[in-house]
Chains A and B, each alone.
Chain A
Amino acid sequence: MLNIKDLRVELEDEDKKILKGVNLDIEAGSVHAIMGPNGSGKSTLSYVLSGRAGYRVTGGTATLDGVNLLDLDPEERAAMGMFLAFQYPVEIPGVGNMTFLRTAVNSQRKQRGEDEMSAGDFLKLIRAKAKTLKIDADMLKRPVNVGFSGGEKKRNEILQMAMLEPKMCILDETDSGLDVDAMKLVSEGVNALRDKGRSFLVITHYQRLLDHIKPDVVHIMANGRIIKSGGPELAIEVENNGYADLLSEVA
């Protein structure tokens, strides 16, 4: 599904290397988690994969089903099935949540050469999906993320994921700012989307989220590289001992 080879990235505005040769292969239907200390490059990896400006790729490739993502505009990546659940979802005053979602769904369909979804079908679908995430009609009507609590914003990200049905979902610290109940709700939303044709990359600081969204593979990222990969037990090790041991291991 997603294959990253020796990906090297620096900031566009300053001469600062962030990713220093990331290698990562995520097969269809699997859930991978990335953990790592602050500043290790986890969020940068998610932004580079989704096409955010401000980064310069100096080497390596990132392909989704064999297509080099790095050559594509963000909207083309999205239409191919790439989705990033933002750590800080953006507020867009003046654009209704429903309008936003419908525009997104139909923009992707159009790019893929599919028919647009009718207003009626869209409404039926979004009502059903919103219900399972406990998103009420008012949240759908309000401007995108404006005045939403932290938990509401993250639930709204998962709703977008559910509506867009991407192949490759990256969750960037989706657990940050969530209370226990909200985390459970968000995790259930993610788990409901688990499918043999869909993969997840979960970026997190805490093992807690991985209790709910059980990963197949856990990677530890530090200083712009993945320094260790293993099973779910790796996350427990980090939770108990911190990163110090792992870092000294590779040093």
Chain B
Amino acid sequence: MAMAREKIAQAKRDAVDVRLATLAAPTGADWITATRAAAVARLRAMGMPGRRDEYWKYTRADALMQNEAPEAEVFDHDESPVFGEVDRLKIVFVDGVFDAAASDDLALEGVRIEMLSDVAALDIHWAKNLYGVLEEAGQTPVDRPLAALNTGFAEAGVVIHVTGKPSKPVSLIYIHKSTTSDAILHHLVKVESGAELTLLENGPAAARLNKVMEVDIADNGAFHHVRAQGRDHQRRAVAHIFARLGSESTFKSFSLTVNGALTRNECVIEMLGDNSFAHVAGAAMGDGADNPFHHDDTVFVTHVGRDCESRQVYKNVLRNGATGVFQGKILVKQGAQKTDGYQISQALMLDGDSQFLAKPELEIYADDVICSHGSTSGAIDEEALFYLRSRGVPVGPATDLLTLAFLAEAVQEIENPVLAAEIGDRLEGWLTRRRS
């Protein structure tokens, strides 16, 4: 037994060597060089995700850890990009590289935006206290080797210091141009007390993307995040969000995923202060007919402070052999009294070929809390479908209407109605295109 275990651990470490063989350590100031080296040491110690790992039971990480990015066609389409109607500060990355010419001026009242590559060269910068810090904290109790890999090798990303309430959202736009691009992005967001930021992200970014975002929210701070992962069918991505919340703070994140051969979205939230809100939600739609679709939402919320509310609302619409995965955990630590934790994951199967794998978990060490969780998967409600048809709505549009209604609970988590409408339009467009 011990021999077998050692063999598996060795294989996981060997996989690290394979991946690192083609990666070069980036240059930078002493602090970031030390942080990167520590992350690589963490990665070597834990090894790459293995097939026996409980945390990777439903998703195969092979494509995310092999040393070359698997090819992914660039998906050309006429549809205007999401958030097109929203006034925002645009920051463009092409295949993971900052494109200054395509981006707006980074100056915006209430926020200071820098590039990680610039910050990494400075001897003194606040980023030293955030870069890799939340990622490292998030490695307990579950290993997240791909996030450690990111900290070890990321050169590109934005570093955002929010000190006020900027008049418009900051929007990260990820363009995919090369069929073999392999992007590593690492963003830092520090929200000061009483400050507020809305961050938008959209686009496929690269053939393969490994992205980490660390978000530190001080007391009374608020962070709103809406992302739309690109429509490229063959793209693969692993994205981690690590967030730490002070008292009376708000963290809200919504993710839209349509298409993509492989998407693993991890969200790790630590609610340190009292009276805070953390709401995470996602809508994923996949059709496995012409390309594989595998989508994985893995969420870990830790309640440390008192009187905090956390919500996880995830909806998957699957058909033609698409796979949806949800692993969601609420950990309530001793002393986190009056916690209100809610978690729901649901899949709508539009045919009998698709699968949804859900693992909801609660772990509670405080005695005065409310925590609920639920998970369902099912087909379209035939009664409702007949009701609509009996009123003259043909079966295609009626099914779409019910599908959008199913997703509505997740979309409603987006506070800004303009952004919610943008996301709603995308969902409707996806359905309409597949009907004609």
- Give residues in A with beta carbon < 8 Å to B: 50-53, 73-75, 77-79, 83-84, 86, 89-95, 99-100, 103-105, 107-108, 111, 143, 160, 164
Task: State whether A50 touches B402 (Cβ < 8 A).
Answer: no
Chain A residues with CB under 8 A of B407:
94
Task: State whether A104 touches B384 (Cβ < 8 A).
Answer: no
Partner of B390, one of A84, A99, A103: A84
From 225 to 264 in chain B, residues with beta carbon under 8 angstroms from any chain A beta carbon are: none
Q: Cα distance A73–B394 when bound, in Å?
A: 9
Q: Does B102 contact A (CB under 8 A)?
A: no
A99 to B, closest residue via Cβ = B401
Given contacts A79-B392, A107-B393, A108-B392, contact A92 B386 (CB under 8 A): no
Task: State whether A103 touches B384 (Cβ < 8 A).
Answer: no
Task: State whether B401 touches A103 (Cβ < 8 A).
Answer: yes
Q: Cα distance A53–B386 when bound, in Å?
A: 8
Task: State whether A104 touches B393 (Cβ < 8 A).
Answer: yes
Q: Cα distance A86–B383 when bound, in Å?
A: 11
Chain B residues with CB under 8 A of A143:
405
Task: State whether B391 touches A92 (Cβ < 8 A).
Answer: no
28 cross-chain CB contacts under 8 A: A50-B390, A52-B390, A53-B382, A53-B386, A73-B394, A73-B395, A74-B389, A74-B390, A75-B393, A75-B394, A75-B398, A78-B389, A90-B386, A91-B384, A92-B387, A94-B402, A94-B406, A99-B401, A100-B388, A103-B401, A104-B388, A104-B392, A104-B393, A107-B391, A107-B393, A107-B397, A111-B392, A160-B391
Partner of A95, one of B389, B390, B402: B402
Given contacts A53-B382, A103-B397, A107-B397, contact A94 B390 (CB under 8 A): no
Chain A residues with CB under 8 A of B115:
none
B interface majority secondary structure: helix
Q: Does B404 contact A (CB under 8 A)?
A: yes
A79 to B, closest residue via Cβ = B392
Chain B residues with CB under 8 A of A107:
391-394, 397
B403 to A, closest residue via Cβ = A94
Chain A residues with CB under 8 A of B384:
90-92
Q: How far is the CB of A61 from chain B (nearest CB, A)?
A: 20
Partner of A51, one of B382, B390, B397, B402: B390
Chain A residues with CB under 8 A of B381:
92
Q: How far is the CB of B381 from chain A (nearest CB, A)?
A: 8
Chain B residues with CB under 8 A of A53:
382, 386
Which of B390, B395, B397 counts the most A-chain CB atoms under 10 A from its CB? Answer: B390
Task: State whether A94 touches B405 (Cβ < 8 A).
Answer: yes
Chain B residues with CB under 8 A of A77:
390
6 more CB-based (< 8 A) A-B contacts, given A75-B395, A84-B390, A94-B408: A51-B390, A53-B386, A75-B392, A75-B393, A92-B405, A95-B405
Q: Cα distance A244–B386 when bound, in Å?
A: 36
From 292 to 337 in chain B, residues with beta carbon under 8 angstroms from any chain A beta carbon are: none
Q: Does B143 contact A (CB under 8 A)?
A: no
Chain B residues with CB under 8 A of A52:
386, 390
From 375 to 433 in chain B, residues with beta carbon under 8 angstroms from any chain A beta carbon are: 381-384, 386-395, 397-398, 401-402, 404-409
- Give residues in B with beta carbon < 8 Å to A: 381-384, 386-395, 397-398, 401-402, 404-409
B409 to A, closest residue via Cβ = A94
Q: Cα distance A138–B33 when bound, in Å?
A: 60
Q: How far is the CB of B384 from chain A (nearest CB, A)?
A: 5
Chain A residues with CB under 8 A of B388:
92, 100, 103-104
Q: Cα distance A160–B406 when bound, in Å?
A: 23
Chain B residues with CB under 8 A of A164:
391-392
Which of B384, B406, B407 counts the most A-chain CB atoms under 10 A from its CB? Answer: B384
Q: Cα distance A86–B390 when bound, in Å?
A: 10
Q: Cα distance A192–B56 when bound, in Å?
A: 64
Chain A residues with CB under 8 A of B387:
86, 89-90, 92
Chain B residues with CB under 8 A of A78:
389-392
Task: State whether B383 touches A90 (Cβ < 8 A).
Answer: yes
Chain B residues with CB under 8 A of A100:
388, 391, 401
Which of A73, A75, A84, A160 counts the most B-chain CB atoms under 10 A from its CB? Answer: A75
Chain B residues with CB under 8 A of A103:
388, 393, 397, 401
A163 to B, closest residue via Cβ = B391
Chain A residues with CB under 8 A of B402:
92, 94-95
Chain A residues with CB under 8 A of B394:
73, 75, 107, 111
Which of B382, B398, B407 counts the most A-chain CB atoms under 10 A from its CB? Answer: B398
Q: Cα distance A161–B178 when bound, in Å?
A: 56
Q: Cα distance A92–B406 when bound, in Å?
A: 10
Q: How far is the CB of A113 from chain B (nearest CB, A)?
A: 14
Q: Cα distance A105–B138 when bound, in Å?
A: 53
Q: Cα distance A89–B386 when bound, in Å?
A: 11
Q: How far is the CB of A32 from chain B (nearest CB, A)?
A: 20
Q: Cα distance A52–B404 when bound, in Å?
A: 23
Q: Cα distance A51–B390 when bound, in Å?
A: 8
Q: How far is the CB of B393 from chain A (nearest CB, A)?
A: 5
B412 to A, closest residue via Cβ = A94
Which of B382, B390, B391 counts the most A-chain CB atoms under 10 A from its CB? Answer: B391
Given contacts A75-B394, A103-B397, A107-B394, contact A93 B405 (CB under 8 A): yes
B391 to A, closest residue via Cβ = A104
A78 to B, closest residue via Cβ = B392
Q: How far is the CB of A251 from chain B (nearest CB, A)?
A: 36
The 4 closest A-B pairs by CB, nearest first: A94-B405, A78-B392, A108-B392, A104-B391
Q: How far is the CB of B141 from chain A (nearest CB, A)?
A: 36
Q: Cα distance A89–B390 when bound, in Å?
A: 12
Q: Cα distance A104–B397 when bound, in Å?
A: 10
Partner of A74, one of B386, B405, B408, B409: B386
